[in-house]
Each structure stands twice: as structure tokens, then as C-alpha cells.
């Protein structure tokens, strides 16, 4: 295990412990979430060393790395995923309709597979070898290991996307420096992350599934994400809600709380959380942010 001594956002060394919680999803190990007392960024601390993190993804239940479609939960996940893929493509094409698109943490390649290869050069990076193989076989995406980002030979993209990926990145400032060098001057960086100040996060507390320790190393709000990206010369131009995430996260959270009716409870509470985010002060379970240099 390694311990973060300085906030990656503001370099402060003064932290408050918010939660002690389990990896309910996989190992049942205990972890701690702390918050920077200066900028408010939350993070898992201490966390496994980067070389050990891969072991925490090696479960069939990690659906973004597999095409499993057996249970009712799996089927719901894939139904929502299909809708979201079309929504994401349309969002991207509001800004650019052709060029080079790079998806960091592309998983099984389903997102890049939505883009016409006649108009787009599609480049995916994914650390999981099994997911890369699915990307190749299912979508014709030649996904590469993350280390290959250093071998792009001057390639610059109109679009770089990170769909629920930034929160997983250990060396986050170094990654953002690299991303900036890969993006054209008029390009966009699209980041989707869970919101640790959302209505469902506040309701579920340590059972909130989107804390997903230790796979999620950082736990953002809109303010802390903007502060981090501003350090690297990015400006926020648009943000959008991911309305289905409240249902998915609520279902997992209800399971972690050992609810007797997790599906029913997640439908009721997901609607309640989204309604509160739309009509009251607060935010959705997850948000999409579009940045420019």
C-alpha cells in the first residue's frame, strides 16, 4: 500500500478522514476515503501500489471489461449502455464530425465502435488485455496498452475521451500533461466521472457504490474537477448529466446495504435522486464535462 502525502490538486498536506469502508464489489478489504482540507478533493488513501491495482479488476462482475449478459442486472446494464453509447456519439459530434478520436480506457471498444471509420481515425487505449481482445473481435478496434500512448509520434486528436476513467488514474497530473500534448488546439477533452457530492452519494454515504474503492482513487465534484483541469490549462465549456447512473449506482448501493428488494428500491430512489438534481440545488450521480484548451 502507498499513502498520498500531498493533495494532487493543491499540494496541501492537511486531510480529514471521511469514511472507512469496504471494497463491497470484490475483495471485501477495508479502505479509507480522505478529503483535502484546502480544496475539498476526496481520494482513497492509502491505496494499493499502481503495479498491484490490476488485481482488483480481475472479476467477471467488472462488466466494462467483459460482454457478460446473463443476469437481469447484466441485461439492464447493457440496455442502458446501448442508449448511452448513442447519446455519447451525438454529444461528440456536436463539436466535431470527423478527425481523430482517442478513447483512454476504452474497455471493450463499444464507444469507439459507434464512429464511422470512414470519417474517424479511432484510437483506443486499454490496460486490460482481455478487454482489448474483445474490442478487436467485436468492433474492429485495435486497442493498445496504455504505455503505447508514448509512441503516437506526433498524432494529435480532435477529440479525447475518458468515460469513467479519470478517477482510476494513479499519476493523474502526469496523465493530463500527456493528454494536453495529444490534443489539437481546437480539440475537446471529454471526461465523465461520478459526483461525490450528488444526492445519492450523500444518501448512501459509505455504501455509495461509486466510491468503488480501491479502483476509484479520486472522488470528484464539479469544483474539484475544474480546479484540477484548470491547472493544466483547460476550461470547462459544457456539462451534461448522466441520468441513468443514479439507477445503476443505487442498485449496487442497495445490494451493499443488503436491501431485500434492491431492484425496486433502486428504481424508486434513482427517480428521486434525478428529480432532486433537476429541480433542487445539487448534482446528478455522474456528469459529463467538456473541456477546451
Asked if residue 59 has pLDDT above 80, the reply is no
Domain 15-292 class, CATH top level: alpha beta
Q: Residue 81: what pLDDT? A: 76
pLDDT range class, residue 197, cuts 50, 70, 90: very high
pLDDT range class, residue 152, cuts 50, 70, 90: confident
Q: Residue 71: what pLDDT? A: 66
| Owner of C-alpha cell 468492433 | 139
Parallel, antiparallel, or unpaired: how do β-strands 30-36 and 15-22 relate?
A: antiparallel
Domain boundaries, the chain: 15-292
pLDDT range class, residue 162, cuts 50, 70, 90: very high
Q: Residue 58: what pLDDT? A: 82
208-235 pLDDT per residue, tens = 999 999 999 999 999 999 999 999 999 9
The mean pLDDT of 181-198, rounded to a whole number, is 97
161 near 101, Cβ under 8 Å?
yes
Write down the H helix ranges in the chain: 72-92, 129-139, 172-182, 199-204, 222-231, 245-256, 262-279
Q: Residue 285: what pLDDT? A: 98
pLDDT range class, residue 36, cuts 50, 70, 90: very high
90-110 pLDDT per residue, tens = 999 999 999 999 999 999 999
Report how far residue 26's alpha carbon sits from residue 256's, in angstroms, rounded to the nearest whole number.
11
Parallel, antiparallel, or unpaired: how do β-strands 157-163 and 183-194 relate?
A: parallel
CA atoms within 13 A on the CB side of 195: 28
The mean pLDDT of 154-158, rounded to a whole number, is 92
> Hey, what's the cell of 182?
495529444
pLDDT range class, residue 57, cuts 50, 70, 90: confident
**What is the side-by-side strand order in the sheet with 235-241?**
120-125, 99-104, 157-163, 183-194, 286-292, 235-241
> Hey, what's the cell of 260?
431485500
Let me know the angle formed at the C-alpha of 278 by 277 and 283, rounded to the nearest 5 degrees. Answer: 30
Report how far residue 67's alpha carbon sits from residue 108's, in angstroms, rounded to the nearest whole number.
8
> Hey, what's the cell of 141?
478496434
Amino acid at each position: 500500500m502507498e499513502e498520498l502525502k500531498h493533495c494532487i490538486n493543491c499540494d496541501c498536506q492537511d486531510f480529514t478522514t471521511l469514511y472507512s469502508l469496504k471494497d463491497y464489489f470484490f475483495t471485501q478489504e477495508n479502505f479509507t476515503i480522505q478529503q483535502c482540507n484546502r480544496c475539498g478533493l476526496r481520494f482513497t488513501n492509502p491505496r494499493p501500489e499502481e503495479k498491484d491495482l490490476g488485481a482488483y479488476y480481475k472479476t467477471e462482475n467488472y462488466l466494462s471489461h467483459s460482454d457478460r449478459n446473463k443476469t437481469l442486472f447484466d441485461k439492464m446494464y447493457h440496455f442502458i449502455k446501448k442508449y448511452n453509447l448513442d447519446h455519447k456519439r451525438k454529444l461528440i459530434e456536436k463539436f466535431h464530425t470527423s478527425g481523430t478520436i482517442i478513447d483512454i480506457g476504452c474497455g471493450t471498444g463499444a464507444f469507439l465502435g459507434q464512429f464511422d471509420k470512414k470519417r474517424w481515425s479511432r484510437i483506443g487505449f486499454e490496460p486490460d488485455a482481455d478487454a482489448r481482445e474483445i474490442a478487436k473481435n467485436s468492433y474492429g478496434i485495435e486497442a493498445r496498452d496504455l504505455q503505447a500512448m508514448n509512441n503516437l509520434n506526433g498524432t494529435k486528436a480532435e477529440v479525447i475521451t475518458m468515460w469513467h476513467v479519470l478517477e482510476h488514474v494513479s499519476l493523474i497530473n502526469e496523465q493530463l500533461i500527456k493528454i494536453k500534448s495529444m490534443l489539437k488546439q481546437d480539440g475537446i477533452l471529454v471526461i465523465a466521472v461520478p459526483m461525490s457530492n450528488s444526492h445519492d452519494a450523500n444518501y448512501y454515504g459509505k455504501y455509495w457504490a461509486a466510491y468503488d474503492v480501491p479502483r476509484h482513487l479520486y472522488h470528484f465534484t464539479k469544483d474539484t474537477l475544474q480546479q484540477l483541469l484548470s491547472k493544466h490549462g483547460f476550461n470547462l465549456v459544457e456539462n451534461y448529466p448522466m441520468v441513468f447512473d443514479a439507477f445503476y449506482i443505487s442498485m449496487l448501493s442497495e445490494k451493499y446495504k443488503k436491501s431485500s428488494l434492491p431492484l425496486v428500491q433502486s428504481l424508486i430512489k434513482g427517480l428521486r435522486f434525478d428529480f432532486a438534481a433537476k429541480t433542487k440545488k445539487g448534482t446528478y450521480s455522474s456528469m459529463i464535462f467538456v473541456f477546451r484548451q
